[in-house]
Homo-oligomer: A and B are copies of this chain.
Amino acid sequence: MNVIPMYIIGERLNTSIPEISKAVKSRDKDKIIEEACAQVEAGEAALDINAGTHGRSEEDDVLWMMDVVTDGANVPLSLDSSNAGIIEVCLNQYKGPGTPIINSINGEAAKLEALTKLIKEHHCDVIALAMDERGIPDTAAARLEVITKVIDHLENEGIARSRIYADPLVIPVSTDTSKALCTIETLQGIKKDFPEVKTIVGLSNISFGLPKSKLLNRTFLAILIASGLDAAILDPTMPGIMPTVKAAEVLLNHDEFCTNYLSAYRSGKLEP
C-alpha cells in the first residue's frame, strides 16, 4: 500500500476574512505569519493566498502576503486570483518551496489560454473548475462535460493529468438541497473518467447560511473523501476537520496499521 495522504490547503489567508484584510492593509507581518503557521501546524498544509477583495491594491497586497508567508511558513502556495496578470507576477516572484498551484482556471477560453501558457512556463500545478463562461452547470453530467474539455485542453498542451486538481464545485446546500449530491456525483465521475487527475474542493462553502457549519463541513468532508477526494481547500484549524480526515483515512484503508491516526492521537491532534 502506498497511498498519499489528503493534500490540505489552508484557506484562511484571504482578505474576505475581515481580520486578514485588516492585517494585510496595515502590513501586520506577525498576524499573517501566525495565521499561516497555525494552519500549517494543524493540517500539515499548503496555503492559499488571496487579496481579491482589495480591488486596485490586490497585486501589491498579494505580493506582500507571498513574501511574508514564504519567509514565515516555508510551504507551497496556492496563488488565488481571478486576474491572470496578478498570477503571472506572483509566479515570476515565487521563491518556493516546491511547486505553486494556480487557483484557478475554468472552461472560459481567453483565461484558459493565458493561464495554460503560465502553467507550461512555470511547470506548476493547477486547479481546474467545473464551470465556464456560462456559469456553473446545474447537473453533474454537465459539470463533467465542462471539466472534460478543460482536462483535454491541458493534456493537448502537454500538461500531465497528475498536475491537474479538478474541482467539481461546492455550492451552499441551503440554496438547494440537491447541490451537495451534484458535487458528490461530479467528483465520482471525474475519478471514474480520469483516475490520474487529482480532485479538490473548496469545502467551507457547503454550510453557508445554515447553523452548525462545523458539523456540516466535517460530515461533507467524510463523504467526499470516501468518494475519491484527493485534496481540499479548508480551514484546518476548524474543530473536527483534521480529526475527520485522519479517521476517514483509516476507514478507507489509506493508513495501514492506523499509523498516522495513532500518531495524531498521541500528539493531541484528534482533539476535539
Q: Residues on A close to B: CB < 8 A?
A: 173-174, 177-178, 180-181, 184, 206, 210-212, 215-216, 219-220, 222-223, 225-227, 243-244, 247-248, 250-253, 255-258, 261-262, 265, 270
Give bound CA distance, A219 to B215, whole Å.
11
Q: How far is the CB of A267 from chain B (nearest CB, A)?
A: 12
Give bound CA distance, A6 to B50, whole Å.
41
Number of copies of this protein chain within its complex: 2
A211: chain B residues at CB < 8 Å are 262, 265, 270
A216 and B247 form a contact (CB under 8 A)? yes
Give bound CA distance, A178 to B251, whole Å.
8
Give bound CA distance, A210 to B265, whole Å.
10
A258: chain B residues at CB < 8 Å are 173-174, 177, 210
Give bound CA distance, A20 to B100, whole Å.
57
Candidate in A181, A222, A243 with the most chain B CB atoms within 10 angstroms: A222
A220 and B184 form a contact (CB under 8 A)? no
Q: How far is the CB of A246 from chain B (nearest CB, A)?
A: 8
A206: chain B residues at CB < 8 Å are 251
Other-chain residue from B178, B244, B262 in contact with A219 (beta carbon distance below 8 A): B244
A257: chain B residues at CB < 8 Å are 177
Please, which residue of chain B has its CB at the minimum distance from the CB of A210? B258
